[in-house]
Structure 1
């Protein structure tokens, strides 16, 4: 079946040359069993018409798509738990393709945005550091679930595009081994990391930094004037503040916020030891190896800002420090502004101005804090979505007994100040269900247990279907 005429290859990263990446080949896997394909994401780059055999050829065997130069392992450095590591780079993944988005951009954007197809678990590269370059099937399942849930909740995120089981038995020290293997493909607007700039700065290559800044500006932040490096940093700061705020509103903990895991478009990606909060717990961590809580739930804004300062440090080779500092100082106000907006969106109400919006944010967190072990994070937003319009539903639902007392009264007062935003969304059947879709660790483990022990994918598919139903409900009948 031919690829859609809407497919528009545009391999811009390859044009940067060998200083930025290395041509590589994918591993020759013993099998290729398609476990997940995201046709909605594929349609955004004109690839939805591929049949399964073609899909496996391009995203399991990595036969290059038309107009693509072949896989490139990207070069970068990074701070890992704030320790600089100059021995990084794409060690088990590569940039497989770049193509223009088919449609859906605002009318004022003259050029459709560029999208990357990047891999995880596709084999060894020059940057594998002795690793096998593979991904466990469990890791792939977890990434599909995380990316799908975050997209449904309005978090800027890479999208899980494809998951193919590859038939190898992998040895891992942190899970029962041997375990099944997979290769994942993700779709996002950029895989250029803060650490990509850090590598150029490490080698004192101002020419590389200048090339990279113009590449990033022109492709991802075209509203910034050419040569305005502080303006580019400001755009990345603003995008990163929005991402961080939406993590918090989603009750999400990324787990590994190193500088090689943050990119220039402010999209979340590379989901390893992630968690969603069961309850409001500021010190909640996702990674067992984060022994000091560096990337705990409430410390994520601090972590992102610290990483932005490392990006600014790299940019000091080509720009003055003072305007870079001014750009960095925009993070705090932007984060607070975006956090208010994210909580309003999660509660389905309109803005009433800074003071009232802040009051709603504060009282929501106070209610969650007081609720302790009884009031879970996600159900509160489900129960009270739409504000006053959901009063009867919330006060007759399974958590009705929790909605009383001073903290609740303050929350309800603040919530009812705000008008519902698109209240027609409440007619969706999702809001008649007593429980929202959640993605807590015990549910993820149950999904994996069924796959691992019985090759039963029904729980996985059921969870994805529920998440998609939630996405459609939140988007509304006219958004799709």
Structure 2
């Protein structure tokens, strides 16, 4: 499935240990009855110097059995964190504050430097109970793992900052869930993230009025994750970074037609990557009221309300940072969110449309015209961007709603051509809910993983055409 990337050097890290005990609890992974490897992201593994087989110089050579040992049984990776850490945090869940959460079915168990010199975490989902599991079993359904792989692969291809699904291992347990047919199959997922520090991590420290720990966390995020030297106001510098990155993420969600479903403050990290995928969906058409979660009865996290939700979330970070800094400079930065989001959304739409930006005003005008036409025409989002890539709109009755877009596009030039074979396909690559359910049905009914692997390969091929 994966390309054959040049492996990076394996450079293990333990930076998170410098935060100290107030930030996590050392835990033990669950013992699973089986370990069946269902997905391995060789491309992501190569970027942190972890490769299968014999390896090359300065890489960590992992055989298939060693892969299962490290990413299914969680034997420590050489030179990295010696024991898994369940992270502590609070969060607003559907805008109601909850101080009784934390890593309830996951942990961070390794850190490494990637081929871009970024500090990355290897974290889990479904790895067993922790002090924050409450009444949960700490497990992940296999269907949930399959869905997360598909979400992260599609978002990466569409240029959305996201965690990477690193490994999916079926674990041989039967799980009972109230919202899907049970018993169902189980799995443990490993994801590669630039950070697992959430807005909710800061909220917990504010709740506990722990200014010393807050200063320590600000320094960790600013220096280790954002690579900045602290100035006279490190908390303001940090907040500015987070506001910009979250605004960018919100803009790219919209261009991708993606609905996360659960944009709680414990699901928003401070490096601006989307992660922790539950009831996600891609919107078939530009419908601002489209929701992903069946329990989002009021549409709080509907497609078109995601930018507002992200703005609200970073406002909660500002409230938490009041523990260590005065409000006025935080408010000043917070007020930049709408403009930064609008700019990021326009850039993301032009990227997906395959044209080069001209200037902010023109780009915003084109983006506004495009979203208006998509909303009024009800043209499928994936179909539009497939047909119009490069900035050349087809003629015909189906395209009359896009005449204003066509006129504005006359000033734009393609950022790449349509020579990739993907553009000769009859239909675009997509991953709408019906396709997800069909992929899962093949696995659940016949243990047929062919449609899953074929879809991952198709998504990566589309990503190559868009890149």
TM range, normalised to the smaller chain? over 0.9
Residue 208 (str. 1) matches residue 213 (str. 2): yes
Counterpart pick for 1:364 among 356, 367, 370: 370
Match of 1:57 in 2: 69
1:414 matched to which residue of 2?
408
Q: Do the aligned residues in 2 keep the contact of 1:224 with 1:231 (CA within 8 Å)?
A: no
Residue number in structure 1 paired with 2:79: 67
Report the counterpart of residue 334 of structure 1 in structure 2.
Answer: 340
* 2:294 corresponds to 1:288: yes
Match of 2:38 in 1: 35
Q: What is the match of residue 21 of structure 1?
A: 24
Greater mean deviation of Cα atoms: 87-96 or 359-368: 359-368
Alpha-carbon distance in 1 for matches of 2:416, 2:439: 34
Q: Which residue of 2 aligns with 1:89?
A: 102
Q: Within the alignment, does 1:145 sit opposite 2:150 as a pair?
A: yes
Cα shift readout 1:374-416 (whole Å, capped 9, x = no counterpart): x10111011111013xx5xx44xxxx5412x2x2211111122
- How high is the TM-score relative to the length of structure 1? 0.92
Shift of 1:439: 0.6
Shift of 1:366: 2.1
Give the 5 Å matches for 1:238-253.
238-253=244-259
Distance 2:182 2:441 in 1: 14
Counterpart-to-counterpart distance in 1, 2:8 and 2:209: 43
The residue number in structure 2 matching 1:234 is 240
Matched, 1:472 2:464: yes
In the other structure, the counterpart of 1:451 is 443
| Aligned equivalents of 1:92, 1:307: Cα separation in 2 | 23
Matching of residue 46 in structure 1 with residue 49 in structure 2: yes
SS in 1 for 2:288: coil
Query: Which residue matches 2:58?
Result: none
Q: Deviations 1:358-383 (Å, cap 9, x if unpaired)?
A: 221122112212222xx101110111
Aligned to 1:461: 453
In the alignment, structure 2 segments of 5+ residues that lack a partner are 1-6, 53-61
Report whether the alignment pairs 1:380 with 2:380.
no
- 1:44-443 equivalences under 5 Å are 44-49=47-52, 50-68=62-80, 69-101=82-114, 103=115, 105=116, 112-223=117-228, 225-226=230-231, 227-372=233-378, 375-388=379-392, 391=393, 394-395=394-395, 400-403=396-399, 405=400, 407-423=401-417, 426-443=418-435
User: What does residue 59 of structure 2 align with?
Assistant: none
Segments of 4+ moved more than 6 angstroms: none
Offset from partner CA, 1:415-443 (integer Å, 9 cap, x none)? 222111123xx100001112110010000
Question: What is the CA-CA distance between 1:357 and the residue it aligns to?
Answer: 1.1
Structure 2 CA distance, aligned partners of 1:435 and 1:142? 22
SS in structure 2 of the partner of residue 123 of structure 1: coil
Using the alignment, how far apart are the partners of 1:58 and 1:188 within structure 2? 17
Q: Which secondary structure state, in structure 2, belongs to the residue aligned with residue 48 of structure 1?
A: strand
3-state SS in 2 of match to 1:27: coil
Write the distance in 2 (CA, Å) between the matches of 1:304 and 1:366: 22
For 1:339, what is the secondary structure of its paired residue?
helix
Q: CA RMSD in A?
A: 1.2
Per the alignment, residue 8 of structure 1 pairs with: 11
Count matched residues: 450
Q: Cα distance, 1:223 vs. partner?
A: 3.2
